[in-house]
Structure 1
Amino acid sequence: MSLITMTADYRRYLMPVRPFSLAFRVEHVGRYGADATDPRLLPLVWTLRDLVRGYDPRDVLTTSRLTVTNAELRVPLAGTFGRVSGSNALPIDVLAFTDAGAFDTQPVSGGAVQRRLLRSVGAGIRLNAGGFVFEFDAVR
């Protein structure tokens, strides 16, 4: 077989005005080459919730290529809306986000590759508790 699997993940964090920060991510995973869509290859499997927020965690996506973009506006809850010092409070962020993804799938019966486009926009709250991140989102 002649193919390669390419993975690219680019992230950028900016703080245009304190305490607001912007987070951007572009991720791509894909198989390329003469045998990239060979039916003997197992598909790449992703839990959709990890890529585009707002979809059921049980939605599992099989794909041969994917490209995902995420953008977030983050603001720390402590010290921004109250009098609590940032060093004495839990690391909780309020966020607004938008996610989008393009997923290429090969039909089981063969034929042309089909592209599935998914988008979401929403807001949420994120708690970083000792390295464990808990996020609760409202998504449209």
Structure 2
Amino acid sequence: MKRIVLLSCALMSAPSWAINKCVAPDGRTIYQAAPCAGEAKASEIAVQKAPPSTTIPIDTQAEIKQLQQRAAKAERERKIKELEAGNSRYRQSMTDELDALRNRKRFANNNLAGATWEQSLSDEMNAVTSKYDTLIRDNQTEIDRLRKEGEKE
């Protein structure tokens, strides 16, 4: 790959500096600015200056800006869909966890130990609800931010 780049540079214009290609006695190839040391076989490669950069026409700049705006919009829409799908998964997970806890509540005995266990399960249900509400609210805040950002453009 290096050879192709160096050779293509050599064909483009007059050389501006040289690079030495050194092949060490063990067969390793090294490219360096300094002359080869010791018993390394040397060959000089001329490196060309890059052609002068061209300015981008104004109409092309406008197209580039338009494409960048479209790409930003598409990325924003992708993120929104991803966050909305995440909210759906969170809601489903919350429902599943709450159903499992409700099912366990059915087995609570009608005594002090059963009432304590039932209270513990209720506390756990509140924690599950709180956890998923926070996750969903965070996603919704990000969705709202992305939508507002899209409206500004």
Does the TM-score normalized on the shorter chain lie above 0.5? Answer: no
Report the structure, 1 or 2, having the larger helix content: 2
Richer in strand (by share): 1
TM-score calculated relative to the size of structure 2: 0.18
Computing the radius of gyration over CA atoms, which structure comes out larger, 1 or 2?
2
TM-score by length of 1: 0.20
